[in-house]
């Protein structure tokens, strides 16, 4: 006889009954050649495989929502690129190709974000047809810390009023909201610095300090810039600026489509959306040798040709990509927007496709992208004059 306590009441089982109960228990837990028991607790089941680069959902359009953050009523006019201010992460900046202006959005993560459109007094040169924006060094010579730079797809025509002279390149700005597009002490707007060796510039990426990389469409090359010390508000002494040109003719400009860049500080690799060649390229910025000095249109400290730099394919042309444009590096994956197909594809750094989202937007919509402080992907819709956020639906 076996005695078992249940809620304080003794239960008595004869030994024959106990044996029978034991057999029933074994039968309910033993596999009879049919694999694992499907009634096992969920915690014992294999976990579903994680979707790589899951910011794009599971790879189907139905797995995400494209949520409009702001639209045309916020002053967007052919938005080309966007970036979050690292010093004020809930602040988003968008550059407008259509009218040389900037839209600044605060409280981006709120249900009702607040936007403000600004246009610098001298935007027809210093921000003429902007293609790209990148935040950079914190320290400035004035105002609240925080700088950013823009690149312009322009040959310098001052709103088509003069013949092009190619006196164009990246511009350095303060993100101090009391300075940007508010101060104009010398009739040159609020810019802090500008160097002029990249006309038709379609992409920019920050490396460190006041060092930036650009995609120069006029020469189909990549140019590295060091502004040195900023000039202060609205000055034009660029004599401490250095620049180096890489891969002359190795890249191909696609008019009207930004070709964005991203610098990886982990290994000093620069990734380039080589739009005209339909490829994703990689430049080893530690490679190359300085060659001949190049002529400049203004006094500069240095402008030189770099030779024998290592430029390789990550994703070769004629394959996965048609007109790669936007480019971001997140969680070890390269996210590329395709202006021709309106697809966003995530690749490993070795070029393996790991996820892809068809946004189903009209061809020509996609350009710059940026990951927000919420870890979500934000993108410009150039045709719809919108900023969209990729919201993954719960699984």
* Adjacent-strand bridge partners of 83: 93
pLDDT in tens, 104-140: 999 999 989 999 999 999 999 999 999 999 999 999 9
Establish how many alpha carbons lie within 13 A of residue 327's alpha carbon, considering only the half-sphere containing its beta carbon.
33
Q: How far is CA 384 from the centre of its chain?
A: 19
Of the pLDDT bands very low, low, confident and very high (cuts 50, 70, 90), residue 349 is: very high
Tracing tokens 């006019």 back to the chain, one arrives at 77
> Which strands, in side-by-side order, build the sheet including 101-106?
79-84, 91-96, 101-106, 114-118
- Tell me if 252 sits within 8 A of 195, measured CB to CB: no
What pLDDT, on a 0 to 100 scale, did the predictor assign at position 49?
A: 59
Residue 31 has pLDDT above 90, yes or no: no
pTM: 0.87
Burial label for 47, CB within 10 Å (0-12, 13-18, 19+), is exposed
| DSSP for residue 63 | G
DSSP 8-state code for residue 294 = -
Q: DSSP label at 10? A: E
Taken as a whole, the chain contains a residue count of 395
- For residue 353, list its beta bridge partners: 347
């Amino acid at each position: 006889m076996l005695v078992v306590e249940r809620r304080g009441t003794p239960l008595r089982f004869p030994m024959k009954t106990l044996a029978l109960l034991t057999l029933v228990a074994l039968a309910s837990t033993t596999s009879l050649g049919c694999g694992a028991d499907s009634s096992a607790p969920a915690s014992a089941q294999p976990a579903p495989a994680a979707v790589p680069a899951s910011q794009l959902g599971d790879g189907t359009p139905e797995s995400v929502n494209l949520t409009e953050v702001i639209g045309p009523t916020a002053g967007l006019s052919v938005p080309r690129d966007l970036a979050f201010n690292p010093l004020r992460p809930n602040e988003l900046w968008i550059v407008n190709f259509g009218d040389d202006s900037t839209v600044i959005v605060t409280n981006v993560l709120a249900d009702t974000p607040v936007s403000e459109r600004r246009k610098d007094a001298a935007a027809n040169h210093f921000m003429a047809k902007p293609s790209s924006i990148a935040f950079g060094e914190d320290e400035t010579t004035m105002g609240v810390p925080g700088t950013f730079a823009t690149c312009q797809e322009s040959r310098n025509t001052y709103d088509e009023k003069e013949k092009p002279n190619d006196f164009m390149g990246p511009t350095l700005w303060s993100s101090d909201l009391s300075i940007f597009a508010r101060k104009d002490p010398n009739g040159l707007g609020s810019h802090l610095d500008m160097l002029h060796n990249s006309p038709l510039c379609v992409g920019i990426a920050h490396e460190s300090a006041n060092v930036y990389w650009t995609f120069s469409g006029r020469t189909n090359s990549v140019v590295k810039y060091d502004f040195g010390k900023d000039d202060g508000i609205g000055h034009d002494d660029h004599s401490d600026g250095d620049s180096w040109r890489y891969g002359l003719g190795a890249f191909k400009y696609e008019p009207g489509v930004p070709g964005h860049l991203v610098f990886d500080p982990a290994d000093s690799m620069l990734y380039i959306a080589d739009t005209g060649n339909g490829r994703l390229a990689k430049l080893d910025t530690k490679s190359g040798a300085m060659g001949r000095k190049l002529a400049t249109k203004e006094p500069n400290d240095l402008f030189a040709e770099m030779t024998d730099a290592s430029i390789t394919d990550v994703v070769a042309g004629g394959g996965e990509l048609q007109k790669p444009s936007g480019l971001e590096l997140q969680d070890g994956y390269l996210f590329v927007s395709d202006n021709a197909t309106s697809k966003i594809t995530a690749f490993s750094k070795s070029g393996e496709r790991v996820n892809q989202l068809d946004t189903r937007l009209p061809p020509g919509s996609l350009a710059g992208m940026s990951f927000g402080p919420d870890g979500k992907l934000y993108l410009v819709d150039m045709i719809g004059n919108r900023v969209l956020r990729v919201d993954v639906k719960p699984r």
